[in-house]
Structure 1
């Protein structure tokens, strides 16, 4: 069994980042320096938010399955685990978790996932919305966002409409219409 690699030191990592920024500055390209500094800030913000969330979820220890389940159910923490190939769940389980995270908004189920191409076919399982194209687009965006956090292996989504039984006719309930002649 191979011993795990030593964790990087915060001090050495900080020095390394400073050295890279100093090299960019020495090259005289201010735009590259500014972009590199922005990149470092964005990554620090992302990882800082993830670590904050991890600590919050571990301290909370609520819900079924304890802190591990809470960590795996969190989009930010899950995305960090996937990014570093540390997530303990397989892609199919994580796809299910992504769909479950948006279940109140979108009723979708997996028809097929092709791991070789990253293509995911989903079936709509009915809708509680008005059926407007704008609400369908919003639903699909919510699913895509959840999948990008929980299962970035999904590279494309194809939606199929599930056969549904026709909805009953809409019955209007209102006041009785006025009559032409008053009844005696």
Structure 2
């Protein structure tokens, strides 16, 4: 059975809702049992996936596993993604720039640390547009590198003010008047 992207996302959403409901009932005996059952399944499937990743790497096609949205998501959940955090972040920032340029914005990767990714977002629009774009960047980065925890957006670089050399060489009286 192969699911299309829409069905996959709908199912992931349903699973997240069900897990939220289980989490809301962890204080009850049935809720604790449900949470333990879910954790046992996650651990079991995580171990199976780790074996698949190891076999794929030995066979020389481990990197191809990240081209599938569901597999990439599972690799991230189980901390098995073959690409380092910085590689994943650089890739998504590059992909975002293609989209953002059409909207009059540019995102630049400033730094990747274990707990935070810092980006610089330059927009030609209003502040609310900048906030929306910053949220888009944050969502995309955390989707591919959830282990970093947060994304910080720093102010754009100030444009240098260029003063013509001729202006600097003119006498002060002529510049003031």
The two structures have a TM-score, normalised by structure 2, of: 0.47
Q: Between the two structures, name the one with larger relative contact order (CA 8 Å, sep ≥ 6).
A: 1
Please identify the structure whose Cα radius of gyration is greater.
1
